Amino acid sequence: MRKNIVAGNWKMNCNLDESQHLINALKLEDFEQIKAEIIIAPPFTNLYPAHQSLQDSKIKLSAQNLNENENGAFTGEISPEMLKSVGAEYVILGHSERRAIYNETDELLAKKVTTALKHDFKIMFCIGEELDKRQAGKHFEVVENQLKNGLFHISESEMKNIVIAYEPVWAIGTGETASPEQAQEIHAHIRKVLAKKYNENVAEGTSILYGGSVKPNNAKEIFAKKDVDGGLIGGASLDAKSFKAIADSF
């Protein structure tokens, strides 16, 4: 059965002190009773101290990106093995900021997915359309192509390590959210696409998160939808009480 998940994407926020402060604040909240997996994705530099601080906690750690190569002359990049060695269990791939600002293509993402799986990462694979595509009614097509070109080279058994995060670009960091109905409609479509490519088991077993301005005041309604299995949270994950309040939706 698929899991509920609430994941916090800290993006390029929090120096080491701030990161440890936020983790300490999260540890004061009681996540144990929540029927969802809880994940945070601090910046690379804060992962190891975060890992040490979270030893006795149910909160899991994710990286925000990785390089598709094993090691070598890639100045400034971080390898999968490095991330594993500092305690990252998950990695976020295909975030719209990586796609738009760093020109990460479906082809590159497909390579990152392969490398990440080789190193036993669980992947939060992000997909989602821009505003003009939504307005033109092309959102179904966009997410389908992102899945086909970035993810669908992997096997049915490898899909067990995949979480999909549907994040409409027009809702990320804008304060604008997809309505619960819009989220449900496209999540159901994503599940159909998974069933067509793999089978019903994969479709029903894959967690599909919604991301895009999820806040304590809208999370419950969105997560209540049948095909929404939780959220990838940006801004609101930087405040322990807000993040906990979102997780409390489960």
Q: Has 141 been annotated as catalytic?
A: no
What DSSP string runs through 97-111? HHHHHS---HHHHHH
Q: How far is the CB of 8 from ligand PEP (least distance, A)?
A: 9
Give the residues lining the site for ligand PEP (CB under 6 A). 9, 167, 172-173, 211-214, 232-236
Contact 231, 126 (CB under 8 A): no
Q: Has 95 been annotated as catalytic?
A: yes
Closer to ligand PEP by CB, 83 or 233: give it: 233
Residue nearest to ligand PEP (CB): 234
d(CA 59, CA 121): 16
User: Distance of CA 174 to CAs 167, 171, 231, Å?
Assistant: 12, 5, 16
List helix spans (H) across the chain: 16-28, 47-53, 80-85, 96-101, 106-118, 131-135, 139-150, 180-197, 200-205, 219-223, 240-247
Q: How far is the CB of 212 from ligand PEP (least distance, A)?
A: 5
| Catalytic position from the list 37, 97, 167, 187 | 167
Q: How far is the CB of 143 from ligand PEP (least distance, A)?
A: 15
Q: How far is the CB of 125 from ligand PEP (least distance, A)?
A: 12
| Catalytic position from the list 95, 97, 104, 139 | 95
To which H or E segment does residue 91 belong? Answer: strand 90-93
Closer to ligand PEP by CB, 126 or 203: give it: 126
Closer to ligand PEP by CB, 184 or 213: give it: 213
- Residues annotated as catalytic are 95, 167
